[in-house]
Structure 1
Amino acid sequence: MTIINLLKSSQNLGRLKNLVENLYASNRTCYSSYVKYAEHKQIEKIRNIGISAHIDSGKTTLTERILFYTGRIEEMHEVKGKDNVGAIMDSMELERQRGITIQSAATYTLWKDHNINIIDTPGHVDFTVEVERALRVLDGAILVLCAVGGVQSQTLTVNRQMKRYNVPCLAFINKLDRSGANPNRVISQMRSKLNHNAAFIQLPIGLEGEHKGLIDLISQKAIYFDDAYGETVRYDEIPQNMRTESTERRHELVEHLSNVDESLGELFLEEKSITENDIKAAVRRSCLKRTFTPVLVGTALKNKGVQPLLDAVLDYLPNPGEVENIALKEKEGEEPQRVVLNSQRDNSHPFVSLAFKLEAGRYGQLTYMRCYQGVLKKGDNIYNARTTRKVRIPRLVRLHSNNMEDVNEVYAGDIFAVFGVDCASGDTFVTDNKLDLSMESIFVPDPVVSMAISPVNNKDRDNFSKAIARFTKEDPTFQFYFDADNKETIVSGMGELHLEIYAQRMEREYNCPVSLGKPKVAFRETLTSPVEFDYLHKKQSGGHGEYARVIGILEPLPPQKNTVLEFTDETIGTNIPKPFIPGVKRGFYMMAEKGLLTGHKLSGLKFRLRDGMHHIVDSSEHSFCLAGQGAIKETFEHGCWQILEPIMAVEVAVPEEFQGSVIAQLNKRHGLVTGTEGTEGWVTVYAEVPLNDMFGYAGELRSSTQGKGEFSMEYSRYSPCLPDLQEKLIEEYQRSQGILPEKMQKKKKN
């Protein structure tokens, strides 16, 4: 953006002032028509943050405002705006049409001479891996909550992800201008549902249509946002009618901090005067330790509260040097050794980075990376720690949504992208391959929905193969396989929307229309009670034979572990030599891929190998692998098996008059209503419903609530399915295998 363009409008004077300050502070140069943002700062002046929340909480709108106020973009556009432009971070055409975020998008900007790298993430549970890999590489996060919806289902998921990667966060209660906004209810939900030690550091001046500004409890000032776009931030005295409440809330803030921060706790107990700097320092210390969550308020759509939120990011969230990043040094036969990486922005330590996202760009595969240690320069050679393959880096870029800016080098703490690197998501890259270092990879949830997929026209098969190969590489939760029994191509994902989006992308990006079959649910098979086995595998046909005997117990795991498989070696002595034990384990895991009841995977089982026998000549690891498989087949004949199905945590928000019909619909779908919550004419119904019964619910809810209802669901657990469903699944499987079910056999006899 040029200074000339800014001067054309008097409304832009505030932004011009910010731009000039940034230019002066960092001694930057204004190139032809835009400002170069890819300048390398000291590590203290870098923040890597993510913006995460439930669907429709205002993440993308907030990011758009941040980019506008920092002078990164010239004008703001709405997610579902009438001008058909859409938010800058929703660069995909499908995102703009649907008004949702599908892919996480990275950008970087400057605020008060600090470089802020931002990743805007999706809210739908179908695209949860985008949030997962973003939080894996970020140092801090903004948890956005809707002032009306409060803590919702996906908020809980995002909170778990932040906890998994130990990411400090700020909370921002958005949409204070909406009817029914209640920040007090939201903060109480944060404390009860998320278990956060949370307290306001800001209070709203008015709610809904009366929302005028904020009160900063730490500095004890009122903040107002003037001009058409709220660019001028004005500080004033606290309104008379809010002074009592602000004093009480400030005291509450100090109490919450005193419980987790020793320095402030001593001042509080000794009743000494607590200054603004004391509170700020305590908030920062406790926020970095994740023992306290500061809560800010505002409305991004109405341009209030964004600049103080940016200040809070600089004040309270960590820079890359304040976060301990661990790599594992692996040696054969030894436990991996933990190595703390050095985040200083120099080349005194070898380069280490993590590839966290892959994307097919105009110039080939674009790999998003986070640099954790050292320096990488254009033209350097790096090694993939997993494959040990050496690659040369011809081009380094930093990203602003779908736009790129070339840089010559990147340092520890930077988020960047490279071209032409063949790798998988979660791979570690180093400049010194002798280090044997690898970063902890990214947690990938298992898919829950499968559908048959095929191109509408046979001539499009080449494009179909290219699309499948690209999308499965980019998104580890989108999986693909060929079902030889049913002669169908199957794709699996996190939900109906997930698979539907990829089907639409195949048509748009590869000119390959596809048809999706009826969704298939990822059922599992398990035992109801332990079964002992004693299986002998013996084969003699001249020459080297096969001999292996395994004795043990196959038992069910407790319900909270019914999605995993365990193998334990309880043998004593040399009846089964130790080199043959991995063969038994491999046989067990091979059989677990496809159960004999319905063809679904086995889970929730523990294989306890207690004894066995071997032959000095005929035994081998392969023999014991076959014996392990035979033992599982034996338990199928003697054991009592049941089918598990995924249960979803469903959250439905509707006007009060539709509450009865919504509960009736959920009951009809074998759902269990676990609670309801009402506020301002709306009610939220919480339920647990089998995924198999949730297909088509979106249309039914829309038609029964005049289009006003909305719902979200996420995976909760696996649970035994109903007997009639189990019988139906067994019959369908037997029919597909050409086996007549027992009922049909009896009819034939009669």
Structure 2
Amino acid sequence: MTTNVTNSLATVRNLGILAHVDAGKTTVTERVLYATGTTHKRGEVHDGTTVTDFDPQERDRGITIFAAAVSCTWAGHRLNLIDTPGHVDFADEVERSLRVLDGAVAVFDAVAGVEPQSESVWRQAERHGVPRIAFVNKLDRAGADLDRAVASIRERLHPAPLVVQLPIGSEQSFTGVVDLVGMRALVWPDGAEAPEEGTVPQDLYDEALRRRRLLEEAVAERHPAALEEFCGRETLSAPTLTAALRDLTRSGDGVVVLCGSAYRNRGIEPLLDAVVAYLPSPLDVPPVRGEYEGVERQRPADPAAPAAALAFKVQATPTGRLTFLRVYSGTIEKGDAVWDASARRTERIGRILRVRADRHAPLERAVAGDIVAVVGLKSARAGTTLCAPDDPIVLEPPGVADPVVSVAVEARTSRDTGRLASALARLAEEDPSLRVRTDAETGQTVLSGMGELHLEVAVEKMRRELDLEVTVGRPRVSYRETVVRGVSGVVFRHVKQDGGAGQFAHVVLDVEPLPGPGFEFRSAVVGGRVPQEYVRAVEAGCRDALAEGPLGGHQVTGLRVTLTDGATHVKDSSETAFRTAGRLGLREALRACGMVLLEPVAEVTVTVPEDAVGGVLGDLAARRGRVTGSTTRTGTALVTATVPLAELFGYAGRLRGRTQGRGTFTARPTGYAQAPATALTATR
């Protein structure tokens, strides 16, 4: 790799903006674009003038729904930035984005601190090993408190927060920050385009020294080189402190915390400096790993290496189908033939585009470290690997969560039935967390997603973009069935003879409950009574049987199946016969087991005025909610409860009515719990 290439990759930052809904993610992104000169007017969420929330539904609802990529430059560095949704219904958009990012900025509300979805996206980033820095936003609001927000970060997220700034002023009088690393003041006068740098205000000097000392001690405790200097000099120089903060951020042993007010344009320039200083470049992350035909492979971030890119988003536009790629290695040029390693077919790159939300600039090539959109790919989906045809690799795709809410959809007129099928296929292609199926009993088309809002957005998209009128049924949740009492020694013989070669398979199964969700299969057959290839066929058959349980035809989870014995026929046994025996045998065993119905539950956080708490608690109890916590601050109560998802349909309107429009809530799915007996009748 040449020096020029190394220097170029070292100046790239691929990062996401993560937060709870309404914490100010999109406003932070808009101010970043303005500060970097990418835009010449500050976009506002409330005015519907933002760059990244460009979809009509996003502007109407005032929230981010679709992850939007933008590219800008700061201090000689290229920042490829993805503004992600904050609403829990669109968590899969965050998941797909995090899969291709090298770093992230987590935005927190200075009044609310860590909120439920803040915690969820933080854990998602942690699972992907994405280094983060934190930005405590909205310090100009009444009740804003940096120390309290940092305490909630420490208590709920469990990182080591390394606070590198001290606010100057509070609430409406917040005007700037003290940079504790450089021991300087940055003040943004009203209407100023950039901060004014000066000395630390005299009334804050002692507090700044105290906090700088705490920062040095926290860093020295976690970084060997910093500890060595600290022990020798009893202080840390700014270069040593900066280098140590960078190392701790990239290793995940510490989280740099900055603060500001994005709406008032205060704190954005230091945040950009921190992104450049602390978050990793493509060269700082390990080579991406994958496999092909069972052989593990890896690709370094080198434009001269064989090409490897991962598609993480597909978007249909009036001008063509865009496939968003993170290029991990190699170089992809316009007109190149690439190998779709997932579909095992050759694709051709039509155009390559540098993305700025809904606007694009053409490129001749994309190199390792780039995030771009390409036109011309026909089969690529989110999770598809594109690579050099002569050196294939399959990269790990982003995970896709199981949907929890379903609605029946049908075209308003019979002549639109074909258009509806095409529209649903397009929606599922763009958003893998949407699932479409046909109900075997009713013949209805069922659309499943991650929540009520998720499905509302999908249906509205069909109406707006495709001019398709559809009728939507009442939402239904996705139930599960599980085993609470197992059975042993269930014998099943599959014998079929209809001329020619027959089918014969004999299996003996034990079924027992499994702690937690999932399915386990194991074989205890001895003496080779069932050959290994038939054991695998029995397992496949058992997995087939999990699709429909005996209580109401719901998916079965939380069980362990053991194949204890079996028998074969010298001529008539086959993998097909044993797969059939596994499927039918497990179905028979489940009918003999003790089974219960599981329903999805959510952690609900309700924010209401103190005088409305009683009515809210009563309503939650009526919805089978179990209150797990309640706190009060500045006249507002936060109530946390676990509530069955089925009971939350229409809750937003009910809450507004009970609180005269002052109450809000968030819901985060947390798993499944046993449903009451009455739910069994309702789901049949």
- Under a length normalisation based on structure 2, what TM-score does the superposition of the two structures give? 0.97
Aligned-partner Cα distance in 1 for 2:276–2:391:
34
Distance 1:680 1:342, change over 3 A: same
Q: Which residue number corresponds to residue 424 of structure 1?
A: 381
Counterpart of 1:666 (choices 600, 616, 620) is 620
Deviates more, 1:218-227 or 1:366-375: 218-227
Deviations 1:215-270 (A, max 9, x none): 11111111101351x31211122222222222222122122212221111222334
Report the number of matched residues.
678
Counterpart of 1:216 (choices 179, 182, 186) is 179
Q: Are 1:301 and 2:267 matched, yes or no?
A: no
Counterpart of 2:635 (choices 664, 675, 681) is 681
Q: What secondary structure sits across from 2:485 in the alignment?
A: coil
Deviations 1:151-209 (A, max 9, x none): 11111110111011100011000011111112211111111110111121011112211
Aligned-partner Cα distance in 2 for 1:307–1:61:
14
Q: Structure 2: which amino acid aligns with 1:673? A: V
Q: What secondary structure sits across from 1:596 in the alignment?
A: coil
Q: Are 1:75 and 2:41 matched, yes or no?
A: yes
Q: Which residue number corresponds to residue 124 of structure 2?
A: 161
Q: What secondary structure sits across from 1:42 in the alignment?
A: helix
TM-superposed deviation, 1:541: 4.3
Counterpart of 1:328 (choices 290, 297, 305) is 290
Deviates more, 1:469-478 or 1:717-726: 717-726
Q: Which residue number corresponds to residue 540 of structure 1?
A: 497
Q: Which residue number corresponds to residue 153 of structure 2?
A: 190
Aligned-partner Cα distance in 1 for 2:64–2:499:
65
Q: Which residue number corresponds to residue 115 of structure 1?
A: 78
Aligned-partner Cα distance in 2 for 1:156–1:273:
34
Q: Are 1:725 and 2:679 matched, yes or no?
A: yes
Q: Which residue number corresponds to residue 333 of structure 2?
A: 377
Counterpart of 1:260 (choices 222, 230, 240) is 222
Aligned-partner Cα distance in 1 for 2:568–2:320:
54
Deviates more, 1:255-264 or 1:472-481: 255-264
Confirm or deny: 8 A CA contact 1:101 1:121 kept in the other structure.
yes
Confirm or deny: 8 A CA contact 2:290 2:296 kept in the other structure.
yes
Counterpart of 2:31 (choices 52, 65, 68) is 65
Distance 1:434 1:40, change over 3 A: closer
Counterpart of 2:296 (choices 330, 337, 352) is 337
Q: Which residue number corresponds to residue 29 of structure 1?
A: none
Counterpart of 1:619 (choices 573, 576, 601) is 573
Unaligned segments of structure 1, at least 5 residues: 1-38, 734-750
Deviates more, 1:536-545 or 1:483-492: 536-545
Q: Which residue number corresponds to residue 238 of structure 2?
A: 276
Q: What secondary structure sits across from 2:99 in the alignment?
A: helix
Q: Structure 2: which amino acid aligns with 1:451? A: V
Q: Which residue number corresponds to residue 213 of structure 2?
A: 251
Identity %: 38
Q: What secondary structure sits across from 2:300 in the alignment?
A: coil
- Under a length normalisation based on structure 1, what TM-score does the superposition of the two structures give? 0.88
Counterpart of 1:51 (choices 3, 17, 39) is 17
Q: Structure 2: which amino acid aligns with 1:495? A: G
Runs of 4+ in 1 over 4 A off after TM superposition: none
Q: Structure 1: which amino acid aligns with 2:45? A: V
Confirm or deny: 8 A CA contact 1:61 1:300 kept in the other structure.
yes
Counterpart of 2:447 (choices 473, 476, 491) is 491
Q: What secondary structure sits across from 2:78 in the alignment?
A: strand
TM-superposed deviation, 1:112: 1.2
Counterpart of 2:514 (choices 557, 562, 565) is 557
Aligned-partner Cα distance in 2 for 1:548–1:329:
35
Aligned-partner Cα distance in 1 for 2:350–2:504:
56
Q: What secondary structure sits across from 1:76 in the alignment?
A: coil
Counterpart of 1:700 (choices 648, 654, 659) is 654
Q: Which residue number corresponds to residue 399 of structure 1?
A: 355
Q: Are 1:440 and 2:396 matched, yes or no?
A: yes
Deviates more, 1:322-331 or 1:505-514: 322-331
Q: Structure 2: which amino acid aligns with 1:439? A: L
TM-superposed deviation, 1:449: 0.3
TM-superposed deviation, 1:522: 0.8
Counterpart of 1:657 (choices 593, 600, 611) is 611
Q: What secondary structure sits across from 1:642 in the alignment?
A: strand
Counterpart of 1:312 (choices 257, 267, 274) is 274
Q: Which residue number corresponds to residue 21 of structure 1?
A: none
Deviates more, 1:677-686 or 1:701-710: 677-686
Q: Which residue number corresponds to residue 8 of structure 1?
A: none
Q: Which residue number corresponds to residue 317 of structure 2?
A: 361
Confirm or deny: 8 A CA contact 1:676 1:683 kept in the other structure.
yes
Counterpart of 2:430 (choices 471, 474, 477) is 474
Q: What secondary structure sits across from 2:150 in the alignment?
A: helix
Q: What secondary structure sits across from 2:581 in the alignment?
A: helix
Q: Are 1:141 and 2:97 matched, yes or no?
A: no
Confirm or deny: 8 A CA contact 1:60 1:89 kept in the other structure.
yes
Q: What secondary structure sits across from 2:617 in the alignment?
A: helix
Aligned-partner Cα distance in 2 for 1:244–1:631:
75
